[in-house]
Amino acid sequence: MTSYAPLRRPPANLELIARGGGRAQRLLARLPTYLADLRENPSWLVMFVFARTMPGRRLHWLFARPGNGQATESAVFGDVDRANAVAELRSVGLYAGFALPQSIHREILNFAERTPCFGNFDRRLELLPNEHKEAEKRFDCSILSGHYFERVLKCEAAVAVQRDPLPLEIARSYLGGQARLVTTRLWWSFPTKGATEADLRLASQDKFHFDLDDWRMLKFFFYLTPVDAESGPHVFVRRSHARRTIRHQTTLFVGHAAADVTRAYGAENVAILLGPAGFGFVEDPFGFHMGSLARRSPRLAMELGFGVSPPSPRRFHGEPVVA
């Protein structure tokens, strides 16, 4: 089984996958969250300004504490080569070598199918995933995504993945001993028509971007449904985590057009992550990446995010502040 599909050149529709409005609109969509983060933690502004630069990141990395170096047996992932995973992360920013046991990913899927989620990050748009089309008619809007927020913690299998020692060990080996779990997300990406540019930006499905929520981060992703090119695969630009053009370091915008990114970092480094249910990978989200549109079938995914700063007590696991 091929764990991920690197492309020698972007597909003709990559720019359509990365469709979206201007960068100013993306910034405006995230402005309420940025302002709330600043009020909660004034030092956030220092991170926001300097963590986008390579000198700033390298300087902060000097304060990383060594990981504990101890390997604990994984109850979920079995025998994964931790050293190889960390080496791949340092080299290309991506490691695709995880597989959830069938019992685990099926239990999470069963939970998600019978539990209401919230459409487009809006807690007023509550729906069961198999009622997606009816919910769009009921709420009179396109629903691009369905998030579970804190409800994911009611799923025993998801909590088992969250608590397994392997992701934390890899995170501490890569990020330093300060690494801690800061996000746990479970969400659907739905095929839909008529999604607005604001919907696409909010769901990070409009263009390549890099995450700037902490000085150093690591994110594990797991597909709970099979993902092919038509069901919303994740896309990552290998090696873009370790080098950055001056223009991409000095702009306030984290989102950039696909043509711009592939020209700067090489089309041969664009990897589309495809795989069966249970397939997992980990990436340094400072590298350019994006979620693509689910065009034919919905995609259910789970994410574990690790950082080096305390998580926000104000919002649950990455939930944005929506204006």
Q: Do the bridges between strand 255-256 and strand 270-273 make them parallel or antiparallel, or are there none, so unpaired?
A: unpaired
pLDDT, residue 17, reads 37
Residue 64 class from Cβ within 10 Å (0-12 exposed, 13-18 middle, 19+ buried)? middle
pTM of the model: 0.88
The pLDDT profile of the chain, 323 residues, written as one tens digit per residue, is: 334 554 333 344 433 333 334 556 666 667 777 788 788 888 888 998 999 999 999 999 998 888 876 778 899 998 899 999 999 999 999 999 999 999 999 999 999 999 999 998 889 999 999 999 999 999 999 999 999 999 999 999 999 999 999 999 999 999 999 999 998 999 999 998 866 566 555 555 557 999 988 999 999 999 999 999 999 999 999 999 999 999 999 988 888 888 899 999 999 999 999 999 999 999 999 999 998 889 899 999 999 999 998 877 666 656 666 54
Q: What is the pLDDT of residue 21?
A: 43
Burial of 90 from C-beta contacts in 10 A (0-12 / 13-18 / 19+) = middle
Per-residue pLDDT at 94: 98
Whole-number Å distance between alpha carbons of 233 and 275: 9
Q: Which residues contact 301 (CB under 8 A, 6 or more apart)?
A: 186, 187, 189, 221, 222, 223, 224, 234
- Phi and psi dihedrals of 294, rounded to 5? -80, 115
* Res 235: pLDDT: 95
Give the separation between CA 259 and CA 288, rounded to whole angstroms: 12
172, 173, 177, 181: CA torsion to nearest 10: -10
Would you tell me which CATH number, out of the four given (2.60.120.260, 3.30.300.30, 3.60.70.12, 2.60.120.620), belongs to the domain 5-307?
2.60.120.620
Q: Where are the domains of the chain?
A: 5-307
Torsion of CA 136, 229, 282, 45, to 10 degrees: -50
H helices, E strands: number in the chain: 12, 14
